Amino acid sequence: MNLHRYRFILARPLQLLPVLFGISIITFVLVRLIPGDPARVLLGAKSTPEAVARIRAQFGLDEPIWLQYVYFVKNLVLGDMGKSILYKMPVLQLIGERLAPTLLLILGSVILALALAIPLASIAATRRGRLADHTIRLISTAGLGFPPFWLAIMLIIVFSVKFDLFPVAGYGDTWGDRLHHLALPCFTVALALSAVITRNLRASMIAELASDHATAARARGLSERRVFWRHVLPNAVIPAINLLAVNIGWLIGGTVVIESVFSIPGMGQLLVRGIFTRDYMVVQSVAMVFACATVIVNFLADVLTVAIDPRVEL
Amino acid sequence: MTPLLAVKNLAVRAKMHGHEFDLVEDVAFSLQRGEILGLVGESGSGKSVTCRALLRLLPGANLSITSGEILFDGRDFAKMTETQIRNERGASVGMIFQNPASHLDPVMSIGDQVAESIVLHRGVSKAEAWSQTVDLLRQVGIPDPERRARNFAHEFSGGMKQRAMIAAALACDPQLLIADEPTTALDVTVQAQILRLLMDLRDKRGLSIILVTHDLGVVAQACDSIAVMYGGRIVERGPKRDVLKAPFHPYTSRLIACQPAHGLGAGLLPSIPGQPPSAGDMPSGCRFHPRCDLAQTSCRETVPGLKERVSGHLAACPITEAGITEARP
Ligand SMILES: Nc1ncnc2c1ncn2[C@@H]1O[C@H](COP(=O)(O)OP(=O)(O)O)[C@@H](O)[C@H]1O
Ligand SMILES: [Mg+2]
């Protein structure tokens, strides 16, 4: 094992800092550009100016905006994300409660998508031009075409309402219950994701099956099966890793839609509520978590690529 | 002595856009144990298709062997089932290619690629296969083989990659090695080293080799016999010395005149006027007649077959029946 090829891991946290700095400024400014005042939203239209002023002072909203930013960053560094105006509790605790459903949703979707994409792409590539290939290509093209929220509603109507197989919405109390609740949302996301991955994998598998090194392997007496598993698949997954990482990045933002449709108490839902109630600290913090998650996913993709492809130097 | 390989009447047909045409026709030759046969011809003459046909690994799903026998040690590769021919690949016949860089798996270590076929054909343990692999890499002249076995293709130079390909092809001790232009992509000095390695392997292992090249210098240096291909057919074959010294086919004679050793020096080399024919658009009669200075009307009509001129030396040209110098006006 060539450990020096993994040197880049040490440099990544440093590269992360400017990204987080940029994201923090952008969200800090954007969230304050939304018209409306958090205190007024919280207290309602009939609130007295005194009450509004008291809330504003309590949450530091009466300070100059640059000072608010300095406090935000200072507290963030110290591990304090501030307090939610709406929930009246530390944002960190709030995020702690909301993280698991979202992580589970994303992880489940990705696993399900890969469990669909790898076999489907393999079948399509090895039976190129035959019925199985045409069917799989048709399905994956269709999978790309459906808007996810429409697909979600269709799945709810069929599997939850008509056949009563899955809960319509929500999140469970026990782990089994939670998986049961997340099955349909995961499947919704996985369908679209697996369509993208299947198409990409199929194309690279076809190229690898026709590659010179596959021919050389056949000339050494390897069966088609062995050529596929040992030489075609490892080479074909390399480009798919990055594609998957980019799509998980999209997915992290996309949980906003899915969690709303299926009423999952996750980070996406927290973000949406935060925006509607002008809950500044919540919106800023969730945005930071999403940014970190995206960076981490890309980082993991890089590590995986370096592990599989000996030619890559980062 | 029965030959190790006897190819008879081999034809490979291509289907394209509803048309069907032969890429390779009526190919016949034989190879003794320990013999190196040079297969020469301009690019597009069907050398690679012929080589790939021998192992039933044609370069395209639109190609098929339509006739012929490929008798290897008495077994007909052309009649075997897919599983049977697969067991012959690597075990009886090894193959190496023009571009070693693209023919090695970039993400599997060199040693693993060699060991893979040892495990497959010999059924030995992984550890045993690995030690055989290191041994083999040493035999093909890779220095520090214990360490280099763990390297990947991109960490090898061009010559070292071709040595690794040779090791992988010879992993299960095949009796025949098909080498399709193994030195064309390499530097001149490296070419000579690889050629010497192949000759060495022949001497030490009694390996038979089909050496595809378009360099007659290579043939002169390494081969025992030669087969000249033109337009998908063998137009002349025989012992190297006879064919190079006294060719009977006008194409062979032209080819020899175009080699640096015989010509006026690099840069001033005469080349054969005209273009080689393309598969699917073959001239009638003798494939070479449009470019041949000896062509007569009869050449346009019938496809000449190979005829023995001197013992073991065959040529497909009725015009030069009495010798090529006699035929020249
Ligand atoms: N899959 C294919 N379909 C149609 N024609 C092909 C195919 N593969 C090779 N050919 C043709 O077969 C002829 C012989 O090719 P090849 O054996 O590669 O020549 P060489 O190795 O002598 O340069 C060429 O004219 C080439 O265009
Ligand atoms: Mg060729």
Instruction: Give yes or no for residue B45 CB within 6 A of ligand 1.
Output: yes
Q: What angle do CA A306, A307, A310 make, to 5 degrees?
A: 65
| Confidence (pLDDT) at B270 | 65
A176 residue type, one letter = G
Structural domains of chain A, ranges and CATH numbers in brackets: 8-77 (no CATH), 94-308 (1.10.3720.10)
Tell me which residue of B173, B191, B186, B189 sits closest to B135, measured CA to CA. Answer: B173
Instruction: Give yes or no for residue B49 CB within 6 A of ligand 1.
Output: yes
| Confidence (pLDDT) at B262 | 47
The length of chain B in residues reads 329
B155: DSSP letter: G
| Confidence (pLDDT) at B247 | 94
| Confidence (pLDDT) at B264 | 46
Residue scoring higher pLDDT (B328 or A109): A109
Among B90, B107, B116, whose Cβ lies nearest the Cβ of A219? Answer: B90
Average pLDDT rounded to a whole number, residues A113-134: 95
Judged by CB atoms closer than 8 Å, whether chains meet at B116 and A213 is answered as: no
Average pLDDT rounded to a whole number, residues A145-149: 77
Atom of ligand 1 nearest to the CA of B45: 22
Run of H or E residues at A26? helix A8-33
Judged by CB atoms closer than 8 Å, whether chains meet at A221 and B104 is answered as: no
Burial of A186 (0-12, 13-18, 19+ CB in 10 A): buried
For chain A positions 178-217, those within 8 Å of chain B (CB to CB) are: 211-213, 215-217
User: Virtual CA dihedral for A262, A265, A266, A271, nearest 10 degrees?
Assistant: 90
Condensed to tens digits (0 to 9), the pLDDT of residues B199-250 reads 999 999 999 999 999 889 899 999 999 999 999 999 999 999 999 999 999 9
Q: Which of B96, B107, B113 to mutate to probe the A interface, most A CBs <10 Å?
A: B107
Taking the CA of residue B5 as centre, how many other CA atoms within 13 Å lie in the half-sphere pointing to its CB?
A: 28
Edge-first strand order for the sheet with B75-76 is B19-31, B5-16, B63-72, B75-76
Q: What are phi and psi of B308, to 5 degrees?
A: -70, 130
A80: left (phi over 0), alpha (psi -120 to 50) or beta: beta
| Confidence (pLDDT) at B263 | 42
Q: Which of A220, A225, A304 to mutate to probe the B interface, most B CBs <10 Å?
A: A220
Lowest pLDDT segment from A173-182, A259-268, A276-285? A173-182
At B82, is the secondary structure helix, strand, or coil?
helix
CB contacts of A125 in chain B (<8 Å) are none
> B39 and B230 in contact (C-beta within 8 Å)?
no
Among B152, B154, B169, whose Cβ lies nearest the Cβ of A220? Answer: B169
Tell me which residue of A29, A96, A90, A94 sits closest to A59, measured CA to CA. Answer: A90
Condensed to tens digits (0 to 9), the pLDDT of residues A185-242 reads 998 899 889 999 999 999 999 999 999 999 999 999 999 999 999 999 999 999 999 9
For chain A positions 224-283, those within 8 Å of chain B (CB to CB) are: 226, 230-231, 234-235, 238
How close does chain A come to B150, measured CA to CA in Å? Answer: 9
Condensed to tens digits (0 to 9), the pLDDT of residues B99-130 reads 999 999 999 999 999 999 899 888 899 999 99
Report, as ranges of residue numbers, the positions in chain B whose pLDDT lies below 50. Answer: 262-266
Q: Given the structure tokens 């890969």, which residue do they identify? A: A114
Q: What share of chain A is helix, strand, coil (3-state, %, to 5)?
A: 80, 0, 20
